[in-house]
Amino acid sequence: MKRTWMRFSQQTLFGKIFIVMVVSTITVALVTSLIMVQVAQNLFMNTFSITNSKVITQIKNSFEDFNYGIVTVSNEVAQSFTVKTFLTEGDQDSLTNAQSVYRMTEQMKHIQSSLDLKEVAVAVLGINGRSYFNNRAYWTGTTEELRDSVLYEETIQHPEKLSYRYFRGSEETDGQPLIIASKALRTPSTKEIYGVLFMMIREPDFRQFYANFTSAGNDVVILDQKGQIVSSNLEDRIGERSEELLRSAAAIEERGLAYTTVNSRGVNDIVLADNLPTYDFYIVNLIDKKMALAKLFPVKQIVVTGAAIVAASLLILFIIIRQVTRSLRLLVRQMSSVTKRNFHNYITIGGSYETKELGAAFNYMLDELNDYISQLVKTQKEQRNAELAALQRQINPHFLYNTLASVNILVQRGNKEKATETIHALISLLQNTISNVSETITVEEELVNLKHYVFINQVRYGTGIQVDFFIAPDCMKAKLPKLILQPFVENAFFHGFKDRNTGYIYVMISREDHALLCEVIDNGDGMDLEPGSNKLPNSRNKRQMFNGIGVRNVHERILLLYGENYGVSIESKPGEGTRIRLRIPWEVQDETLSG
């Protein structure tokens, strides 16, 4: 969670707004959809329960019509003198018995012919041991097996009641489950039982009363008071006991509920129920909630449509937010360029009121910053130039004294030409030294100064240290700050050859891309440098023989004039000499090409 929040906090303003809008839109869409689905489900359930309640009423009417036929047959059998005689008279001769059976058969045919009960088999058992079956295919067992059954016993115990009971398929029923209606036959005056009437219907035939009202996910279950399923279009559940369905049916009846839900065998079902008091059964209508709602709410279509709407909304939001924040993003992008030292990247003021105010404030800040930087750079340059000018004007008295002493010796020796040449070299060198420090000269002019300086030193100390100049022809007109190479030559003269009096110094100038490369190389003593370092000698620790401008002064001067891409670097090893490289921008006739 913390990592997610950190990632969110690092997003741009546009990203944060868009993420918030995406999350908000999806959340609102989901919540709204869930509420609408819930409302629609409740409306659907109420409407569906009303519709299916009417269906249950139609099924109930079909059962009542069937029960009416059963009751009619039961009453006619109970009122028939022929039936009573057949079930109560004793055993007689064969002819009389045959006549009695014939009359019984004809009477039962007459009773059944008045009603459409073709799927119902009738069996009558008398206390005299006689019995009548109109269709032995329904009961293939013996009469005694029927007389000894629980059905017979329960009917005798409740003689006043027409009872419906479920009889599981067995050998006696040829494997077919039956719903059997039974009624005790009694004498009206004495209430004495003289027989029992059984009317049997096979479960598949019983199922036809409601089969037309079932479909996939819409099932009907006929349940007795013990929770046993006596009939259903779900054939695998016939004969099963279901306490859940019994409780649901009882709750609907007792509380007057329109419907309830139950999880039956892993399926979430909607339960509608009604009581069949004449049968002592419950009609239970099971509707697969998932399947029913799937028909009402095609999930795939809803998801695709919802996703399309959300995507369209997000696209519109993206365009609007991007347009609204465009001016702010441009402002941020332009402001970020300040970190790259681009202090002249002024912002075009536009967009919203807030952006305009920020842009104006930013431009004002750049104005103030540029003024401050310009003033600071100007002050630093003036200060540095003043320092360099002061140093240049502080000609080392020892240099002048030794040079003039050397001239005096030359005059005394009669070498007037060399003395004159030395004086001219000193005059030229002093003229360039006391001139404007910010003035630049050509390489050709700088070479004249260097040669004068070398000539004076060789007059004073001899020609043991040779100085050679290697200048590329195209560099002669290139410009560089005045007296910028003199400190390096001086450093080589007086600090590079302490252990010996002979050697050479090379001054090499060439062009490298868009820069002027000046090198001063000697084969003197060399020195130790830290690995990977080009640390420059500290001019404050080593006395300059000509003036106060040392090697480090030159490096700082170049950085001040041209920036960090230019400057002085040094390579040196003890016993191998020293190489000093000076790099400045290429400039010829006021045209600057910097790399």
**Residue with structure tokens 């006021």?**
590
Residue 486 in domain:
yes
**Residue with structure tokens 């409306």?**
43
Residue 533 in domain:
yes
Residue 353 in domain:
no
Encoding tokens for residue 368? 């103030």
Neighbours of 227 (CB within 10 A): 17
Backbone angles phi and psi of 581, in degrees to 5: -115, 130
Residue 333 in domain:
no
Q: Is the sign of the CA dihedral 488, 491, 496, 497 positive or negative? A: positive
Residue 524 in domain:
yes
Q: Are strands 260-264 and 577-588 parallel, antiparallel or unpaired?
A: unpaired
Residue 323: per-residue pLDDT: 74
Encoding tokens for residue 149? 């059954």
Residue 164: per-residue pLDDT: 93
Q: What is the DSSP letter of 484?
A: S
Residue 588 in domain:
yes
Residue 541: per-residue pLDDT: 43
Encoding tokens for residue 2? 């913390």
Three-state DSSP state, 221: strand
C-alpha closest to that of 220 among 266, 312, 288: 288
C-alpha closest to that of 328 among 360, 361, 352: 352
Residue 12 in domain:
no
* Domain coverage including residue 500: 435-593
Number of domain units in the chain: 1
Residue 326: per-residue pLDDT: 72
In our burial notation (b when 16+ CB lie closer than 10 A, e otherwise), range 416-440 reads eeebebbbebbeebeebbeeebeeb
In our burial notation (b when 16+ CB lie closer than 10 A, e otherwise), range 314-342 reads beebeeebeeebebbebbeebbeeeeeee
Residue 192: per-residue pLDDT: 92
Question: What DSSP element (H or E) covers 51?
Answer: helix 13-79
Encoding tokens for residue 584? 């400045």
Q: What is the CATH number of the domain that holds 545?
A: 3.30.565.10
**299-336 and 13-79 helices, crossing angle to 10°:** 170
C-alpha closest to that of 489 among 515, 514, 456: 456
Contact 191, 78 (CB under 8 A): no
What does the chain come to in residues? 595
Residue 539: per-residue pLDDT: 46
Task: Write down the H helix ranges in 183-242.
Answer: 203-207
Three-state DSSP state, 198: strand
d(CA 544, CA 551): 10
Three-state DSSP state, 114: coil
- On the 0-12 / 13-18 / 19+ scale of CB atoms within 10 A, 205 is middle
Residue-wise pLDDT tens for the chain (595 aa)? 667 666 656 666 666 677 777 788 788 877 877 777 677 666 666 666 677 788 888 999 989 988 988 898 999 999 999 999 999 988 888 888 889 889 999 998 888 876 666 789 999 999 898 999 988 888 888 889 889 988 899 999 999 889 999 988 888 888 889 999 999 999 988 889 999 999 999 999 999 989 988 888 889 999 999 999 999 999 988 999 999 899 999 998 899 888 888 887 777 888 889 999 989 999 999 888 787 777 666 667 777 787 888 888 878 877 887 777 777 777 777 666 665 566 666 767 666 677 777 778 878 887 888 888 888 877 877 776 666 666 555 556 667 777 888 888 888 888 888 889 889 888 887 777 666 555 688 999 889 989 998 998 888 888 889 999 999 999 999 998 887 888 888 888 888 888 888 899 999 999 998 999 999 999 988 888 766 555 565 544 444 444 445 677 788 878 878 888 898 989 988 888 899 999 999 998 565 443 3
Task: Write down the H helix ranges in 394-514.
Answer: 397-412, 416-433, 443-461, 486-495
d(CA 336, CA 331): 9
Residue 563: per-residue pLDDT: 82
Residue 574 in domain:
yes
How distant, in Å, are the alpha carbons of 28, 165, 186, 209, 550 from that of 91? 88, 32, 20, 42, 155
d(CA 78, CA 107): 12
Encoding tokens for residue 521? 């190389």
